[in-house]
């Protein structure tokens, strides 16, 4: 049953990294403000917005922390990004 729930939330295909970050955040019921406060020091709202709209990247350490905070794997966040260049 848990995997079915997971597919309902995350079952979309061809999503960008930013879209997956936003989906994972929304699945936890968090606002961008709550997500930014999970970092020390907190990131700006502008930074979170840029991540979710694919306008900027982030350092690998930040990406790893983001995965832990959102309780998702790096593969989940990157799955379409990794497959985009395999053609």
CATH number of the domain bearing residue 62 = 1.10.260.40
* Whether residue 4 has pLDDT greater than 90: no
For residue 1, being part of any structural domain is answered with no
Is 24 within 8 Å of 70 (Cβ atoms)?
yes
For residue range 31-81, what is the model confidence (pLDDT) as tens digits? 999 999 999 999 999 999 999 999 999 999 999 999 999 999 999 998 866
Contacts of 69 (CB under 8 A, 6+ apart): 35, 38, 39
For residue 5, being part of any structural domain is answered with no
For residue range 23-44, what is the model confidence (pLDDT) as tens digits? 999 999 999 999 999 999 999 9
For residue 56, being part of any structural domain is answered with yes
pTM: 0.76
Nearest to 23 by CA among 63, 70, 69, 60: 70
pLDDT band of residue 15 (cuts 50, 70, 90) is confident
The number of folded domains in the chain is 1
Total H helices, total E strands in the chain: 6, 0
- By residue range, what is the domain housing residue 62? 15-77
CA dist 87 and 80 (Å) reads: 12
For residue 84, being part of any structural domain is answered with no
For residue 68, being part of any structural domain is answered with yes
């Amino acid at each position: 049953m848990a995997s079915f729930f997971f597919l309902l939330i995350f079952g979309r295909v061809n999503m960008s990294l930013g879209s997956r970050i936003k989906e994972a955040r929304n699945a936890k019921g968090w606002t961008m403000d709550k997500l930014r406060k999970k970092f020390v020091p907190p990131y700006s709202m502008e930074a979170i917005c840029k991540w979710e709209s694919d306008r900027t990247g982030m350092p690998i350490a930040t990406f790893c922390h983001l995965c832990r905070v959102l309780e998702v794997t790096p593969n989940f966040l990157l799955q379409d990004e990794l497959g985009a260049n395999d053609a």
